[in-house]
Chains A and B, each alone.
Chain A
């Protein structure tokens, strides 16, 4: 089984050279290869998720540790190891990544410009994401983190779209540049913090299972934790460092937006949880009120901003900011229910935002505009597309029976339990604002009399429908039967030091 885990990294890396040898005049071949690889990754992810035994032991399964550098200079025994293992938080994240990449391949099917180059970068990114979710070595954790972030620049700058708005314009180069610079800026903080952590622990190893045993000085934790919090927070769309996210989403091609909002932003929250809260519990405790305030600000701010958007992608982008604010709130509650909720929300938001981008992308491909005020009544020519978008929207506004509710409910309970009643109330209100902008969008663009200009719209492609159904299946699975997710997540979360009952 540990080689299945290894395969998650090896498969996407191995298909990259394969894409390179495919002659570029056969783009169809690249697409089939991408679908095959995506399907394999989805299958293996599902297998890992299902097979993961959550009871007993340290929670780490399928461990695989290969020495890379040791006993040199400042590195001691097992200094830097290639150490893979799956835990209960990684399991749903791995599944999420598998679902989203498989869906993203089908959504990107018609991409005609430099098809194979696109897939090379896409799979490189996916390898990085998988690496982050399953690495137990801090050095490789950071390595894969960078691998996941950097291909994004080219993916947006080459395949993206520039947009003109009434009062301002956003070129794709601007979006790509801003995204990359802000994320790399976050990485700098993370790397500084990792170095400080390594030296302070004095164990001569980057092995996270060893580092979490090191009793670090409380003042040190208080100083270093904010570096992790802000550094990872940038990628998690933490207010006020979120602006790369809406602009990046608007510029990125659909498949990339899906991975970006669906999985990549989760890396940030995952990093705060896996590295920040696990290795520096006292620092996390100290900074929790700040993180809570930032999270709730992001949640409310994002949803109110989304209310004012008329561009569909901006609306979805700001809704991501809002939902990642919920994740941060859950993490900041520092108790079991809230943190469980945060991880659930990472999964739920990943699936539903990927679904939203699938829908918006399908519409944009045909209409070439995204301004909701220019549409009207397009539910009639595109009923399935409407249904898919509606389901994604309902999940995001927290309709029971869909994934978003399960996650948000846990977060709210956790936040109240932790004593931040003001944050809880604002969070619930933010969910109601979400309902407002989702329904406003539906009423404006999809309902009402059909704008004759759009009578010729066709239903989504079958590939897109398949992607949407796959994502909806995940949303429904978690919404109706969350026990498999909760069991896995909770068993690992309760081992995080500093998590209260």
Chain B
């Protein structure tokens, strides 16, 4: 076992999916054990692959593993070339990070789901879809060519559709699923065009590494490459919920909470980050405007999501906004060409965000309530959940020494060095807001007096199937950030810390930026303290602030009216165009064009028939006139 068998990692969940789809209903326990065994095996299989990658270590560089099989190929007439599409995998440190995150979180979430989804009428189907998701996501991550990546990309989108709409009897769930798929699909238009553009002027292959090598030799014209990577970035926009395609992610919370943890926090939504990280050499070769756009989009998303998080009252939605916030940070890092920072953030984010969602799920499972205005004081009844949730919250805010701190500081340090000071300042201010709304989330849910006694009475700590994944993720969210230290990396068998494993051009060790750390901690901590005073007890202070700034809070609570604008555009522009064209088709093309031309024939005949008067003298006159006319013609012709 090793690198050559990396294809087994997605293949095992895929096989589990097929078995569950066909035989699932007849298996004991509807086959949940099969899905979990499959993803568990995949998780274990990551280690031999990693070991092979490390064995190839030559100092601080790693030789990527790649293997491909022909999927289809045909000769191009007259060109002396063949058109090839391969399926294959490519393993490098970025892949390993993604593999580890996906398999580990998927395993945790599926174990957790045994308890969470217990008794659901479509229990078996849930695990079937989860297996399909795992297989698709792992395919996306391992793909060595853009087309296979696109296949995985669309497949995870479809799984997301299935799982958001898992409780499709709810109208809102059906609508959210549709919205998610269509919004991401809009981005995918760009992704597909970008892929075709890269092929068109490129080296007649979809292989990512060959395309990058080709670009590095200057194969693409700069403007063309810029356009191509921006099209690719459109795909990332949709999938990772960046402004202006972020609207689907908060609605996606209609799905079961473990699904939100896995798909809409830890794995699928970071596919966009992964794509940009993977294709970053192309972004760098393109016009600088490309990376600037990535940065600005990330920055806008950070700000709008953080502020929207302040107004949301559904605990899952607040976490969803915090996910958007984190994703924005990753894009800011990528916009500064900092793969290390982005991937580090992605890595630790998976742990603490999954932790937050699963913690929220634990609350929802126990209380059947997810509106924080009806919760409160749960810490007493759910101590483990509360403790783990606190860890997740602090990690998200970025309090030393939790994992989020190290990743966030990396991003901050990079932006301070690479970008305009404004970018840095905006990020710092967003930290303060993050501190505010995360504190609000925790305080309102777990502390002080319960707001609804009935809900509070239902609350109880959940069983081991729920708490153990929470504890494991809590541990990882606490210590996950230490991978930045060279000592930790070496102890784990790597050449050094995270920066010497995942990097774009050259490895770099860990540097602690004291000034950045102090500034960020002060701001984030300030947010926490300020938030504490705002929302403590009955949150009277927060209410008065909200009343004073009523227009702003209305704007935030309505999510900047972006959804409404889109809804208006869809109802009036898209469906209007549809109705117009349908009308045009029926009335102009069909009734006027087709029936019209038929009617012309009919009318011509109808008018002409009146020449037949039925009167003998008329006919006789016509005959005589005809003969005379013909005679005259013949005479003229003869003479």
Interface residues of A (CB under 8 A from B): 168, 178, 181-182, 240, 243-244, 247, 301, 304-305, 307-309, 335-337, 340, 377, 379-380, 394, 397-401, 405, 409, 412-413, 416-417, 424-425, 428-429, 431-432, 435-436, 439-440, 442-443, 446-450, 482-483, 486-487, 490-491, 493-495, 499-501
Report yes or no: A379 in contact with B168, Cβ–Cβ below 8 A: yes
B80: chain A residues at CB < 8 Å are 501
Segment at the interface with A among B382-390, B458-466, B572-580: B572-580
Provide 9 A-B residue pairs closer than 8 Å at the C-beta atoms, listed in order of the A residue: A243-B593, A301-B585, A399-B154, A399-B158, A436-B574, A439-B182, A486-B74, A494-B75, A500-B77
B73: chain A residues at CB < 8 Å are 483, 486
The yes or no answer to B189 lying at the interface (CB within 8 A) is yes
A493: chain B residues at CB < 8 Å are 77
**If the complex has contacts A308-B581, A336-B74, A432-B185, are A449 and B192 also in contact, measured as CB distance less than 8 A?**
no
Report yes or no: B74 in contact with A439, Cβ–Cβ below 8 A: no
Interface residues of B in 40-57 (CB under 8 A from A): none
Instruction: Pick the residue among A301, A308, A394, A425 that contacts B158 (CB under 8 A).
Output: A394
Report yes or no: A501 in contact with B78, Cβ–Cβ below 8 A: yes
B174: chain A residues at CB < 8 Å are 443, 447-448
Report yes or no: B81 in contact with A449, Cβ–Cβ below 8 A: no
Instruction: Pick the residue among A244, A401, A413 that contacts B199 (CB under 8 A).
Output: A413
B79: chain A residues at CB < 8 Å are 336, 500-501
Task: Please measure, in the bound complex, the distance between the C-alpha atom of A440 and the C-alpha atom of B186, giving whole angstroms.
Answer: 15
Task: Please measure, in the bound complex, the distance between the C-alpha atom of A435 and the C-alpha atom of B151, giving whole angstroms.
Answer: 16
Report the minimal beta-carbon distance from B353 to chain A, rounded to whole angstroms. Answer: 27
Interface residues of B (CB under 8 A from A): 70-81, 83, 147, 150-152, 154-155, 158, 161, 165, 168-171, 173-175, 177-178, 181-182, 185-186, 188-189, 192-193, 196-197, 199-200, 574-575, 577-579, 581-582, 585-586, 589-590, 593-594, 598
B161: chain A residues at CB < 8 Å are 439
Instruction: Pick the residue among A304, A337, A428, A501 that contacts B189 (CB under 8 A).
Output: A428
B181: chain A residues at CB < 8 Å are 435, 439
B78: chain A residues at CB < 8 Å are 494, 499-501
Task: Please measure, in the bound complex, the distance between the C-alpha atom of A401 and the C-alpha atom of B594, giving whole angstroms.
Answer: 39
Report the minimal beta-carbon distance from B15 to chain A, rounded to whole angstroms. Answer: 14
Task: Please measure, in the bound complex, the distance between the C-alpha atom of A500 and the C-alpha atom of B75, giving whole angstroms.
Answer: 11
Instruction: Pick the residue among A308, A401, A432 that contacts B582 (CB under 8 A).
Output: A308
Task: Given contacts A412-B196, A432-B188, A449-B171, list 9 more A-B pairs with CB under 8 A.
Answer: A304-B582, A308-B575, A336-B83, A400-B154, A432-B189, A443-B174, A446-B168, A448-B170, A450-B169
Report yes or no: A181 in contact with B581, Cβ–Cβ below 8 A: no
Report yes or no: A307 in contact with B578, Cβ–Cβ below 8 A: yes
Nearest residue (CB) in B for A377 is B169
**If the complex has contacts A305-B582, A443-B174, are A182 and B594 also in contact, measured as CB distance less than 8 A?**
yes
Nearest residue (CB) in B for A446 is B168
Task: Please measure, in the bound complex, the distance between the C-alpha atom of A305 and the C-alpha atom of B577, giving whole angstroms.
Answer: 9
Instruction: Pick the residue among B83, B197, B598 that contacts A337 (CB under 8 A).
Output: B83
Report the minimal beta-carbon distance from A242 to chain B, rounded to whole angstroms. Answer: 8
Instruction: Pick the residue among B154, B178, B192 that contacts A440 (CB under 8 A).
Output: B178
Report yes or no: A429 in contact with B189, Cβ–Cβ below 8 A: yes
Nearest residue (CB) in A for B190 is A428
Task: Please measure, in the bound complex, the distance between the C-alpha atom of A440 and the C-alpha atom of B177, giving whole angstroms.
Answer: 10
Report yes or no: A243 in contact with B189, Cβ–Cβ below 8 A: no
Task: Please measure, in the bound complex, the distance between the C-alpha atom of A493 and the C-alpha atom of B74, giving whole angstroms.
Answer: 11
Report yes or no: B74 in contact with A447, Cβ–Cβ below 8 A: no
Report yes or no: B593 in contact with A305, Cβ–Cβ below 8 A: no
Q: SS class of chain A's interface: helix, strand, loop or mixed?
A: helix
Report the minimal beta-carbon distance from A206 to chain B, rounded to whole angstroms. Answer: 27
Chain A CB within 10 Å — which of B154, B161, B170 has the most? B154
A487: chain B residues at CB < 8 Å are 74
Report the minimal beta-carbon distance from B157 to chain A, rounded to whole angstroms. Answer: 9
Task: Please measure, in the bound complex, the distance between the C-alpha atom of A501 and the C-alpha atom of B75, giving whole angstroms.
Answer: 8
Task: Please measure, in the bound complex, the distance between the C-alpha atom of A499 and the C-alpha atom of B200, giving whole angstroms.
Answer: 18
Nearest residue (CB) in B for A496 is B77
**If the complex has contacts A168-B586, A439-B178, are A305 and B581 also in contact, measured as CB distance less than 8 A?**
yes
Report the minimal beta-carbon distance from B142 to chain A, rounded to whole angstroms. Answer: 15
Task: Please measure, in the bound complex, the distance between the C-alpha atom of A491 and the C-alpha atom of B75, giving whole angstroms.
Answer: 8
B593: chain A residues at CB < 8 Å are 240, 243
Task: Please measure, in the bound complex, the distance between the C-alpha atom of A495 and the C-alpha atom of B77, giving whole angstroms.
Answer: 8
Nearest residue (CB) in A for B74 is A490
Instruction: Pick the residue among A168, A181, A416, A431 that contacts B598 (CB under 8 A).
Output: A181
Report yes or no: A482 in contact with B72, Cβ–Cβ below 8 A: yes
A336: chain B residues at CB < 8 Å are 74-77, 79, 83
Report yes or no: B147 in contact with A409, Cβ–Cβ below 8 A: yes
Nearest residue (CB) in B for A499 is B77
B169: chain A residues at CB < 8 Å are 377, 380, 447-450
B577: chain A residues at CB < 8 Å are 304
Report the minimal beta-carbon distance from B272 to chain A, rounded to whole angstroms. Answer: 17
Report the minimal beta-carbon distance from B194 to chain A, rounded to whole angstroms. Answer: 10
Task: Please measure, in the bound complex, the distance between the C-alpha atom of A348 and the C-alpha atom of B435, giving whole angstroms.
Answer: 53
Report the minimal beta-carbon distance from A371 to chain B, rounded to whole angstroms. Answer: 15
Report yes or no: B193 in contact with A494, Cβ–Cβ below 8 A: no
A377: chain B residues at CB < 8 Å are 168-169
Instruction: Pick the residue among A243, A424, A482, A494 that contacts B585 (CB under 8 A).
Output: A243
Nearest residue (CB) in A for B590 is A243
Task: Please measure, in the bound complex, the distance between the C-alpha atom of A450 and the C-alpha atom of B167, giving whole angstroms.
Answer: 12
Instruction: Pick the residue among B75, B165, B200, B590 that contacts A416 (CB under 8 A).
Output: B200
Nearest residue (CB) in A for B75 is A494
B70: chain A residues at CB < 8 Å are 483
Report the minimal beta-carbon distance from B296 to chain A, rounded to whole angstroms. Answer: 24
* 5 shortest interchain CB distances as A-B pairs: A501-B79, A400-B151, A447-B174, A308-B578, A490-B74
A499: chain B residues at CB < 8 Å are 77-78
Task: Please measure, in the bound complex, the distance between the C-alpha atom of A401 and the C-alpha atom of B75, giving whole angstroms.
Answer: 23
Task: Please measure, in the bound complex, the distance between the C-alpha atom of A405 and the C-alpha atom of B157, giving whole angstroms.
Answer: 15
Task: Please measure, in the bound complex, the distance between the C-alpha atom of A119 and the C-alpha atom of B152, giving whole angstroms.
Answer: 44
Nearest residue (CB) in B for A412 is B196
Task: Please measure, in the bound complex, the distance between the C-alpha atom of A486 and the C-alpha atom of B586, giving whole angstroms.
Answer: 38
Task: Please measure, in the bound complex, the distance between the C-alpha atom of A499 and the C-alpha atom of B402, giving whole angstroms.
Answer: 62
Task: Please measure, in the bound complex, the distance between the C-alpha atom of A442 and the C-alpha atom of B174, giving whole angstroms.
Answer: 9
Nearest residue (CB) in B for A309 is B582
Report yes or no: B175 in contact with A401, Cβ–Cβ below 8 A: no
A495: chain B residues at CB < 8 Å are 77
Report yes or no: A501 in contact with B168, Cβ–Cβ below 8 A: no
Report the minimal beta-carbon distance from A119 to chain B, rounded to whole angstroms. Answer: 31
Instruction: Pick the residue among B150, B173, B175, B579 that contacts A400 (CB under 8 A).
Output: B150
A446: chain B residues at CB < 8 Å are 168
Instruction: Pick the residue among A379, A436, A494 that contacts B182 (CB under 8 A).
Output: A436
B585: chain A residues at CB < 8 Å are 243, 301, 305
Report the minimal beta-carbon distance from A5 to chain B, rounded to whole angstroms. Answer: 25
Report yes or no: B192 in contact with A435, Cβ–Cβ below 8 A: no
B168: chain A residues at CB < 8 Å are 377, 379, 446-448
Task: Please measure, in the bound complex, the distance between the C-alpha atom of A500 and the C-alpha atom of B81, giving whole angstroms.
Answer: 12
**If the complex has contacts A305-B581, A336-B83, A400-B154, are A490 and B147 also in contact, measured as CB distance less than 8 A?**
no
Report the minimal beta-carbon distance from A141 to chain B, rounded to whole angstroms. Answer: 24
Report yes or no: B196 in contact with A424, Cβ–Cβ below 8 A: yes
Nearest residue (CB) in B for A379 is B168
Task: Please measure, in the bound complex, the distance between the C-alpha atom of A486 and the C-alpha atom of B71, giving whole angstroms.
Answer: 10
B76: chain A residues at CB < 8 Å are 335-337, 494, 501
Task: Please measure, in the bound complex, the distance between the C-alpha atom of A287 and the C-alpha atom of B169, giving whole angstroms.
Answer: 51
**If the complex has contacts A399-B158, A400-B150, A494-B75, are A178 and B189 also in contact, measured as CB distance less than 8 A?**
no
